[in-house]
Structure 1
Amino acid sequence: MTHAASRRTVLTAAALAAAGATAAPALVSAANAASAPATASGATPAAGAHTAAVQGPHADYRGWSTAADWSAGAAEGAAPAGGDRPGIAIGTPAGRTDYTDPHTGTTTAYDYAVWTSPAHTPAAPATEAVASWNAATPAGTWIQVELGGTYNDGTDTGWFVMGRWAAGDTDFRRTSVDGQGDGRSSIWTDTFAVDDASTGLRLASYRLRVTLYRAAGTGATPTVWRVGAMASDVPDRFEVPATTGSVARELTVPRYSQTIHQGDYKEYDGGGEAWCSPTSTEMIVEYWGRRPTADDLAWVDLQRKKRHQDPQVDHAARFTYDSQYEGCGNWPFNTAYAATYSAMNGVVTRLGSLTDAETLIAAGIPLITSQSFTEAELTGAGYGTSGHLMTVIGFTAEGDVIANDPANSPTDSAVRKVYRRREFENIWLRTKRYTDKGSVASGTGGVCYVLWGSEITDAQRAALASVGIV
C-alpha cells in the first residue's frame, strides 16, 4: 500500500506498456565530465573478477566492495578511502562542474572524481537492472551512480543515471532522473528496463560509474563502500512453482506501523500508506542494533512524537525521500539510507524462491519484500495493493511466512502477521497478475532489500553468498 504503485505497475513487465513506445528524450548526465567515456563498451572483466552466484535461474547481483574490486576499476580523481572499510573517495579532483538542483533552483560549483567498474557479464542477458550503493556523504557532498552497457546485438546503451544521492537534504536534494531512454530501453525511477522484451533485446553486459562530488574548493569527500547492480530476466508468469517449507524460525524484529503515521509530513508524501518502504527499512535497521539518535530526531515535532512515539519512522521517510518521484519508495534510496548507519550494508536484489528467503532467515537475516496483490489473494492482509513493502521475519513449522507488515495496522504490535506460504510466494515472485477489474498488471518478480551489519558471522556470510550477495 504505497504511493510507489503508479510506478511499480510498469517496472517489472515493461513490455506491457512498451509495445509501440516512442523514444524518450536523450540522456543527459549531471557530470558533463570530459573524462567520461562516450559509451559503456570496450572494457573487459578484470583478471580474477568473480561472477556472482545466480539467484534462481534468472537474476544476478554483482557488487564491488573490496580493495581488489576498487583497484580493478578505472579511477579519474578517485582514490582509496582511509579507514577499516575499503572504499573510494575524492583524491585529486578530475575536474569541476556546475550543477543546478532541479528541486531548489540553486546552482553550485562542485569538484568531482569518477570511478568506473570493469564490465560485468550477468549469468543471463537481462531485461532489467537495478543499481544500489552504500556511501557516506558529509555536508556539501553527494554522489551520482550511472549504468551503461552493451546489448546482445553488440550496440551500446550510453549512460543512464540510476540516482543522484546524498544522505542529507539541506544542501542537496536526492533524486531520480526522469525522461531517460535510448529508444530501446528506459529508466523507470530506479530501474533500467528494456522497452520491449519480446524483441529478444537484452543487456549482455554493463558497467557502473560513480561520480563523487564536493563543493568546489572544500576538502570534504563522499566515501563509497559498495556499489552493485542486480540484473535479471525473469520470465512473464502469473504463477510460480510452489516450494515446501524447511525452516521454522522467527527473528525478533522491532514492529512499526505505517498506518499510525497517516498525515505526517506532507512534504515527505504524508505518512500512512505511502510509508511502507521506510517503515520496513527502519524495522530492519533496528534489528541490527542501529537507530537514529535523539539529536537525529530533534527535527520531528513534539506533537507527532507524543501522538505515535515512533519518530524514527518519520526520520526514515525523510531520508529515503526521492524529490523527483515525490515518494519514499525508491528501492536503492532505502538500502542507501540503511547503510548510513555504522558498518551497515544494504542491496536491492531478486531472490528465486521462498527457499532462498529461508536460507537467510535460518542464518538470522530478515529481508524486505516487494509485492502487489488483491485483497483476496493474501488471506489475512485485509487490503489489496498495487505495490507494497513488508518485512519477512520468519517461517512457521508449517512453512508459512511470518511478516512484520506495516500496512493496515492500528498499532505497532498489530503488524505481526502470518501469511499462507503458497499465497505469499506467488504474489511476491510472479511478474504478471490480474487486478480486481480483470486487467493485467505486473509484479516485481522477487525484488527484495537485504540489509546486514558488518559484524555478521561466518554462517551469515555464507547465507548471503548462497543467494548471490558477495
Structure 2
Amino acid sequence: MTTPASRRTVLTAALAAAAGASPPSSAAPAAAAPPSAARPRPLVDNRFWNSGADWRGGEGAGTLIASGDRPALVIGTPAGRTRYTDPHTGRTADWEYARWTSPEHRPRVAATEVIASWNARTPAGTWLQIELSGTYDDGGTTPWFVMGRWAAGDADVRRTSVDGQSDGRSRVWTDTLSVGPSSGLRLVAYRLRLTLHRRPGTALTPSVWRVGAMASDIPDRFTVPASTPRVTRELVVPRYSQNIHIGRYPEYDNGGEAWCSPTSSQMVVEYWGRGPTPEDLAWVDPDFADPQVCHAARHTYDHRYEGCGNWPFNAAYAASYHDMNAVVTRLESLDRLESLVEAGIPAVTSQSFLERELTGAGYGTSGHLMTVVGFTPGGDVIANDPASPANDAVRRVYRRAEWETIWLRTKRYDAGGKVASGTGGVCYLFWPERPTAAQRKALAALGIG
C-alpha cells in the first residue's frame, strides 16, 4: 500500500533537504551512534496546565476560572473584539474574546520540537486559538506562532492549522513547532496563549480544562536498541477498519488510507465507553457501516492540512466527550508504552515504514496511525491496525524489534532511498477524568496528570 501525499508526515522535506544525500541502493540503513553513556538525559518533557492553581498562575485578560471537578477557563468580561476572516469560507465576522497566557515553562529538555494540545468544549458560536512563543538558548525569542484554530464543530469557523509560519530559525509544520535542523539552536523555554472567542453580545463561552505541550529533543537515529519484554496483557478495544470507508466524504479527505488517525482515535474513545449519540450521527448516510468513524473524520479534519491527521485535533476530539482527557506526547521507549498498557491505557501511535520493515503489515506508509492494545507473552506488539480490509482483520501482531524501530526512530530511508523522517515515538493518550490508581501512576510517570 502506498500512502497519499496528504497523509501526515513529520518534517520530511526539511530533513531530506538538510541531509542532502541518499544511501547506495544496496546499502542497509546504518544505526545512528547511541547517546553517550556518560550523558544520560531526558528526551521528552510534558507540561499541562489543568488545575485552579495552574490557571491562577497565568495571566488572564477577560477570563474567569469556572470551579468544579475540572476547573476551567471561560470568558468572563470580554477583553475586546476582533474581526476574523475564515480563509476556508471567506466569511468575515466579529468576535468577542478573552485571553489567558501561561507562565513561562522551562522544560527539562532543551527542545528541537514542541507540540501543543488542549482539551476544551466549544458550544456553537464559540472557538479557540492556541499560540506558542519560545525562547532560544542564545537568548532570542520566537514570535507568537499559531498552533491551531479549533472548534469541535464546523458551523462557525473551520478548524485549521496555519502552515508557513517561520522566523527563519523555527517553523510550524501543521501541528509541530520545529527548530531548524541546521541552526544548532534549542528552545529552552516557552509560553502558551489561549484566546477564547464568542459571538458578540451573547453569554456563550468556550470552556478549557487542559492546555499544554510536549517538548522533546530525540537524537537522530535510524534504529533503536531492542528492549526486553516485560508486560503480557491485551486490552479489549473496539476494532475498526479505515478501508471500508474508501471513497466516503471527499470533503473530509475521501476515507480509506486518509482516515487512519480518526479511525484509531474512535477505537480508543469507545474503549473508554464514550461515543457520538444517534443525533450526532444523523448527518451520516444511513447505508454506511460504522458511522462513528465518519463522524470522527469530520470532527478531526484540518481544513488547511486537508486531512484528518492533525495530532492535536485528534486529541481535542477525544476530549470533547464527557469527562475525557487527551494529550499528544512522545514516549522515550517501548517500556513506557508497556507500562501504559499494563495499567489499562491503550495508545494511538504514529509511525512510517517500508513494507519490508514490518512483517505482516502488507503495506508501506509515509505516515500511519494504529492503536497499540497489548503485548504477547513473547513481547510482540498487538495492534488494532485500521489499515485492514475489514473490521475482523484489524487485530495484528507485529514483531517487537521491527515495530519498536519504526515507531521510535527519527530518520529512515524512503522507497526512493532518500532520507525521510520518523516520528520518534509520537502517540495520543486518552483517559477518563477518574482513572484508576494504576492509570494515574502510569500517566504521572510521564509528567501527565
- Note the C-alpha offset of 1:15: 4.4
Q: Pairwise mapping of residues 72-221 of structure 1 onto structure 2 (< 5 A)?
A: 72-196=57-181, 198-221=182-205
The Cα offsets for residues 238-295 of structure 1, whole Å up to 9 and x where unpaired, read as 0112111110000000000000000010000000000000000000000000011111
- Note the C-alpha offset of 1:85: 1.2
Structure 2 vs 1, CA of residues 98 and 211 (structure 1 numbering), >3 Å: closer, same or farther?
same
Q: Pairwise mapping of residues 49-448 of structure 1 onto structure 2 (< 5 A)?
A: 57-196=42-181, 198-304=182-288, 309-407=289-387, 409-448=388-427
Quote the residue 1:35 is aligned against: none
Percent identity between matched residues is 68
Separation in 2, partners of 1:175, 1:110 = 17
Separation in 1, partners of 2:337, 2:217 = 20
- Note the C-alpha offset of 1:3: 4.8
Give the counterpart letter for 1:163 in structure 2. Answer: G
State whether residues 8 and 309 of structure 2, in contact with CA within 8 Å, keep that contact through their aligned partners in structure 1: no
- Note the C-alpha offset of 1:19: 8.1
Separation in 1, partners of 2:168, 2:102 = 25
The Cα offsets for residues 323-380 of structure 1, whole Å up to 9 and x where unpaired, read as 1111000000000000000000100000011100000000000000000000000000
**What secondary structure is seen at the aligned counterpart in 2 of 1:156?**
coil
Separation in 1, partners of 2:116, 2:162 = 14
Q: How many matched pairs?
A: 429
Is residue 2:435 matched to residue 1:450? no
Quote the residue 1:8 is aligned against: 9
Query: How high is the TM-score relative to the length of structure 1?
Result: 0.89
Separation in 2, partners of 1:188, 1:229 = 15
**What secondary structure is seen at the aligned counterpart in 2 of 1:345?**
strand
Separation in 1, partners of 2:243, 2:103 = 44
Give the counterpart letter for 1:208 in structure 2. Answer: L
State whether residues 145 and 164 of structure 1, in contact with CA within 8 Å, keep that contact through their aligned partners in structure 2: yes
- Note the C-alpha offset of 1:83: 3.4
State whether residues 4 and 327 of structure 1, in contact with CA within 8 Å, keep that contact through their aligned partners in structure 2: no
Separation in 2, partners of 1:291, 1:88 = 24
CA RMSD of the aligned region, Å?
1.6
- Note the C-alpha offset of 1:9: 4.5
Structure 2 vs 1, CA of residues 323 and 5 (structure 1 numbering), >3 Å: closer, same or farther?
closer
Structure 2 vs 1, CA of residues 161 and 4 (structure 1 numbering), >3 Å: closer, same or farther?
farther
Quote the residue 1:32 is aligned against: none
Separation in 1, partners of 2:333, 2:69 = 35
Deviates more, 1:98-107 or 1:278-287: 98-107
State whether residues 6 and 307 of structure 2, in contact with CA within 8 Å, keep that contact through their aligned partners in structure 1: no
Give the counterpart letter for 2:154 in structure 1. Answer: D
- Note the C-alpha offset of 1:467: 2.1
Unmatched segments (≥5 aa) in structure 2 = 21-39
Runs ≥4 residues deviating over 4 A: 1-7
Separation in 1, partners of 2:315, 2:55 = 21
Separation in 2, partners of 1:58, 1:241 = 16
Separation in 1, partners of 2:414, 2:213 = 30
State whether residues 10 and 17 of structure 1, in contact with CA within 8 Å, keep that contact through their aligned partners in structure 2: no
Unmatched segments (≥5 aa) in structure 1 = 21-54
**What secondary structure is seen at the aligned counterpart in 1 of 2:429?**
strand
**What secondary structure is seen at the aligned counterpart in 2 of 1:200?**
coil
Quote the residue 1:463 is aligned against: 442
